[in-house]
A and B are shown apart, each in its own frame.
Chain A
Amino acid sequence: MCFLVKENKEINEKYYYKVHKTGLPIYVFPKNHSTSFAVFGTRFGSVDSTFKTADDKDFVTVPDGVAHFLEHKLFEDENGNDAFTRYAQYGGDANAFTSFVRTAYLFSCTNNFNENLEVLLDFVTHPYFTEQTVKKEQGIIGEEIRMYEDNPNWRVFFNMLAAMYVNHPIRRDIAGTIESISQITPEILYKCYNAFYNLHNMALCVCGDVTPEQVEAVCDKVLKPAPEVSIARMTVDEPEHIHQERVTLNLEVAQPLFCIGIKQTPAKTPEERLKKSAVNNILLQLMFGKSSDFYNRHYESGLINSKFSASFEQERQYAFVDIAGSCENPDGVKEAVCEEITKRKEQFFTREEFERTKRAVYANFLFNFDSTERIATDFLTYIFADTDMLDFPAAISNVTYEDAMEELSASYDTGKCVLSIIFPKK
């Protein structure tokens, strides 16, 4: 089977796509840069803590932080070699990350692309876990967790999630806790690995000065056909309402930090997801962007400062708005945000304001295409949401004035608004 081509002529970008004979979907994004970038990811993140494969009778629940722990541990092989060392001989600059819904392994290089790709595909498909190596990692990850405990921006964000969600595992830290990771064993890691690290559940995205055939040849060499594994994830019974309206914590900060969360209902289909993302980006820019009345009025009054920002986050199972900043009076900011939402539902923006903002959001998206890393990692996010990055510009263009009005009244419920604050220690 040949590669299929998808092109967006307007922004002059295209990619090649096929399902490799082993079951792995491959995406290649040609780019005339010196740096080539590859991301190999699986749909396994911190929220996938309760699941069932065909071999299991019942759902199993694994300790918090397993996906992230597994990411760390895959780097080591049975000879005690670190994947970093294997990359190093070919000059590959490697990394990995775990988010709520995915784990990704990546490298960038300016030479020896095939060899580096071989290392990536090989180590991710060859797990090796023992009591001893698990124990050693508990020390390193323990320090990583402690580092985040002292990071006020991280804490204020996770406290917001815990306030918004009642049951959903998104309310728990991606890395878990020192306590939860102490329960991790090699058996648990193998269990998760065998369930989620199946080529059908994964994807490979490459961006750079490479050909699709070149990528396929490396896959032919390294990968073995995988039987499809069916995974049932426990559907979380998450109510529409929030858990807690206000949550505070004291840390070593100079001025209070805040995150305001607005819980939304996730979109049901990939098309809706793409549209929801476009329309929310436009709405947030209109209401809270640097050129908005809100931002300027409250900046002038001293309620907020240039650290104020608003963004939209969504995956299959959740969707929310995150408005963050640092100021003396976070409660005042929340009140002002809710007032603004209520007011705009009554008196929406002018068509001219809407069109200008839409253009700005469109242009902003183009900036992403200057980085092979950005393209490859963002692309994976879109793919795992069953959407396509190259469809996003059109999704922005297609948002109508009425769409924006409708989304504001449907998805910005001030009764689902939470406030998380980090106050300075006394």
Chain B
Amino acid sequence: MTFERSQIKEGVSLSAVKTNKFKTNLLTVNLLVPLRKETASLNSLLTDVIKRGTVHYPTMQSLNKKQDELYSLGLASYVQKRGEVQAVVFELSAIDDNYTFDKTNLLEQSMQLLGEMIFNPITENGVFVADYVAQEKKNLIDSIKAQINNKTTYAITRCHEVMCADEPFSVNVAGDIDIVEKITPEQLYAQYKTLLNTAAVEVLYVGSMEPSYIAELISKYLPFDARKPAPMETVVRTTAGEVKYHIDKMQINQCKLSIGLRTGTTLKDKDYIKFALFNELFGGSPSSKLFMNVREKKSLCYYCQPIVEAVKGVMVIASGVDIKNKDTTFEAIMEQLKDIQNGNISDAELRDARKSLENFYREITDSPASICSWYLARIIAGRADSPEEAAKLVNAVTKQDIIDISKKLVLDTVYSLEA
């Protein structure tokens, strides 16, 4: 497996991982922009409207039929947030040319269709089709409302919102209902043009082809102009004021407890690996302190897991508990953190955490989606180390490193969703 990063044009880069491991090609075009309330909803809606058709395939059905013909070509578009950066992603997944019946140049045809989706969407009167925009606004609003359906993820998102209320990180990447309602086809098209012309473009590729061939396809089918994108900044807070307590009410059976902390370490930091190992030991695996003590010994919950946003430097410890055990669980979780800060780490715990983290890094190289996700986060944090390189650093982290890094964590918010 080889990794190669190259500049196609100013502001347009390709990161390619060449490997024969897979039967598929995965390519993502990531348009990176600052996460802002005013534009997040537009970008999110754009990824829905753009799937409705292109100049050559003017209906969703004709586009989907073409994808079927291209061996069930996957074309997706969606938004993500990494710290305070919004990624507008266009994704292509195709089976490798070798597995087509006629050994056709499937990747090239797929790139052509992806290029068409991004650069030649169907329009009327010079803007997006009004009917499509109206329908996708309704669908998007429904799907934003449906975020309450999954109580686990909803309680994590809400904790982030409460914790970072006055920071861009709290912006809902899917969009804001009030803003979506007011979007016009003109406004959306203007944002589309701005995005296409000014966003930082990061193309990621995982598959068997030579990076130079991929670069060629990009020049041919993804004609981005050179640009000087705005720097990708995420404001990191390492201290917290008075602890915020917040309860949302819902008629549910199980209380969702989300504990928000500032980690004091981000992916930009050279010694991020120390934090990663701390996290593994604290709650990242079934041999971690949280799992072994809060779940197994105290039988308080089925899950109890830290969810880390590495670019922003925040952690939410998510758990689902019986409401009568809410305070006990909170105490038990914080006790585990204190335990590490006080240096109570056994040799076995350290060894297990190291093995687990090393394994986690090495497994990333076996999934095209994980590889893409790994490099996207790293590029946003301004680094390019590979999972294998990270795995090699794990053993050098000492107990003292973990203790030192754990002392940077500060409690910010205690959030719960309960009846």
- Which residues does chain A contribute within 8 Å of B139, judged by CB atoms? 305-306
Residue of A nearest to B99 (CB): A366
Q: Identify A143's interface contact among B22, B67, B302, CB under 8 A.
A: B302
A92 touches B251 (CB 8 A): no
- Which residues does chain B contribute within 8 Å of A139, judged by CB atoms? 299-300
A295 to B69, CA, bound (A): 18
Q: Which residue of A11, A293, A359 has the most chain B CB atoms within 10 A of its CB atom?
A: A359
A296 to B147, CA, bound (A): 25
A367 to B220, CA, bound (A): 27
For residue B119, give the distance in angstroms from its CB to the closest CB of chain A: 22
For residue A57, give the distance in angstroms from its CB to the closest CB of chain B: 37
Q: Does A290 contact B (CB under 8 A)?
A: yes
Q: Does B64 contact A (CB under 8 A)?
A: yes
For residue A148, give the distance in angstroms from its CB to the closest CB of chain B: 9
With A110-B359, A140-B302, A366-B23: A291-B93 Cβ-Cβ less than 8 Å? no
Q: Does A271 contact B (CB under 8 A)?
A: no
A89 touches B352 (CB 8 A): yes
A252 touches B148 (CB 8 A): yes
With A146-B322, A254-B148: A369-B252 Cβ-Cβ less than 8 Å? no
For residue B400, give the distance in angstroms from its CB to the closest CB of chain A: 22
Binds A, one of B37-45, B81-89, B166-174, B283-291: B283-291
For residue A282, give the distance in angstroms from its CB to the closest CB of chain B: 12
With A141-B302, A291-B67: A35-B366 Cβ-Cβ less than 8 Å? yes
Q: Does A346 contact B (CB under 8 A)?
A: no
- Which residues does chain B contribute within 8 Å of A141, judged by CB atoms? 302
Which residues of chain B (33-87) have a CB below 8 Å from chain A? 59-61, 64-65, 67-69, 71-72
- Which residues does chain B contribute within 8 Å of A252, judged by CB atoms? 148-149, 151, 250-252
Q: Does A234 contact B (CB under 8 A)?
A: no
With A150-B253, A302-B135: A85-B68 Cβ-Cβ less than 8 Å? no
For residue A76, give the distance in angstroms from its CB to the closest CB of chain B: 9
A140 to B112, CA, bound (A): 52
With A326-B146, A356-B69, A367-B24: A85-B365 Cβ-Cβ less than 8 Å? no
Q: Does A425 contact B (CB under 8 A)?
A: yes
Q: Does B279 contact A (CB under 8 A)?
A: no
Q: Identify B362's interface contact among A89, A110, A359, CB under 8 A.
A: A110
For residue B247, give the distance in angstroms from its CB to the closest CB of chain A: 15
A253 touches B148 (CB 8 A): yes
The interface size of chain A toward B, counting residues with CB under 8 Å, comes to: 69
For residue A301, give the distance in angstroms from its CB to the closest CB of chain B: 9
Instruction: Give how many A-B residue pairs fall within 8 Å (CB-CB).
Output: 185
Q: Does B142 contact A (CB under 8 A)?
A: yes
Q: Does A51 contact B (CB under 8 A)?
A: no
- Which residues does chain A contribute within 8 Å of B399, judged by CB atoms? none
Q: Does A34 contact B (CB under 8 A)?
A: yes
Residue of B nearest to A296 (CB): B61
With A140-B299, A147-B254, A356-B69: A35-B363 Cβ-Cβ less than 8 Å? yes
A108 touches B250 (CB 8 A): no
- Which residues does chain A contribute within 8 Å of B152, judged by CB atoms? 147
- Which residues does chain A contribute within 8 Å of B286, judged by CB atoms? 82, 84, 87-88, 94
Q: Which residue of A32, A91, A136, A371 has the most chain B CB atoms within 10 A of its CB atom?
A: A91
Q: Identify B363's interface contact among A93, A254, A255, CB under 8 A.
A: A93
Residue of A nearest to B22 (CB): A370
Q: Identify B320's interface contact among A143, A255, A289, CB under 8 A.
A: A143
B356 touches A88 (CB 8 A): yes
For residue B63, give the distance in angstroms from its CB to the closest CB of chain A: 8
Q: Does B360 contact A (CB under 8 A)?
A: yes
- Which residues does chain A contribute within 8 Å of B67, judged by CB atoms? 290-291, 360
Which residues of chain A (359-378) have a CB below 8 Å from chain B? 359-361, 363-364, 366-367, 369-372
Taken residue by residue from 238 to 258, chain A's Cβ proximity to chain B (1 for < 8 Å, 0 otherwise) reads as 000000000000001111010
- Which residues does chain B contribute within 8 Å of A326, judged by CB atoms? 142, 146
Q: Identify B151's interface contact among A35, A150, A257, A293, CB under 8 A.
A: A150
Q: Identify B291's interface contact among A84, A299, A356, CB under 8 A.
A: A84
Residue of B nearest to A254 (CB): B145
Q: Does A382 contact B (CB under 8 A)?
A: no
- Which residues does chain A contribute within 8 Å of B360, judged by CB atoms? 93
Q: Does A49 contact B (CB under 8 A)?
A: no
For residue B159, give the distance in angstroms from its CB to the closest CB of chain A: 17
Residue of B nearest to A150 (CB): B252
A305 to B367, CA, bound (A): 29
A151 touches B23 (CB 8 A): no
A85 to B296, CA, bound (A): 12
Residue of B nearest to A300 (CB): B135
Q: Does B95 contact A (CB under 8 A)?
A: yes
Q: Does A348 contact B (CB under 8 A)?
A: no
For residue B305, give the distance in angstroms from its CB to the closest CB of chain A: 13
B149 touches A153 (CB 8 A): yes
A360 to B71, CA, bound (A): 5
For residue A394, give the distance in angstroms from its CB to the closest CB of chain B: 14
A292 to B68, CA, bound (A): 11
- Which residues does chain B contribute within 8 Å of A129, judged by CB atoms? none
Which residues of chain A (268-293) have a CB below 8 Å from chain B? 289-293
B296 touches A149 (CB 8 A): no
Which residues of chain B (128-178) have a CB below 8 Å from chain A? 135, 138-139, 142-143, 145-152
Q: Does A265 contact B (CB under 8 A)?
A: no
Q: Identify A367's interface contact among B69, B95, B355, CB under 8 A.
A: B95
Q: Does A7 contact B (CB under 8 A)?
A: no
A89 touches B351 (CB 8 A): yes
Q: Identify A302's interface contact among B138, B295, B321, CB under 8 A.
A: B138
- Which residues does chain B contribute within 8 Å of A90, judged by CB atoms? 355
A88 touches B287 (CB 8 A): yes
A3 to B24, CA, bound (A): 30
A359 to B66, CA, bound (A): 12
Which residues of chain A (286-342) have a CB below 8 Å from chain B? 289-293, 295-296, 299-300, 302, 305-307, 326
B356 touches A93 (CB 8 A): yes
Q: Does B209 contact A (CB under 8 A)?
A: no
A91 touches B99 (CB 8 A): no
- Which residues does chain B contribute within 8 Å of A136, judged by CB atoms? 299
- What 3 A-B pairs are tightest by C-beta distance, nearest first? A91-B355, A88-B287, A110-B362
Supply 20 A–B pairs (Cβ within 8 Å), ascending by A.
A32-B20, A82-B296, A88-B285, A88-B352, A93-B363, A139-B299, A144-B302, A147-B152, A147-B254, A252-B250, A253-B148, A254-B146, A289-B64, A356-B69, A360-B67, A363-B72, A366-B23, A366-B24, A366-B99, A367-B93
Residues of chain B touching chain A, judged by Cβ–Cβ distance below 8 Å, are: 20-24, 59-61, 64-65, 67-69, 71-72, 93, 95, 99, 101, 135, 138-139, 142-143, 145-152, 250-254, 285-287, 291-292, 295-296, 299-303, 320-322, 348, 351-352, 355-356, 358-360, 362-363, 365-368
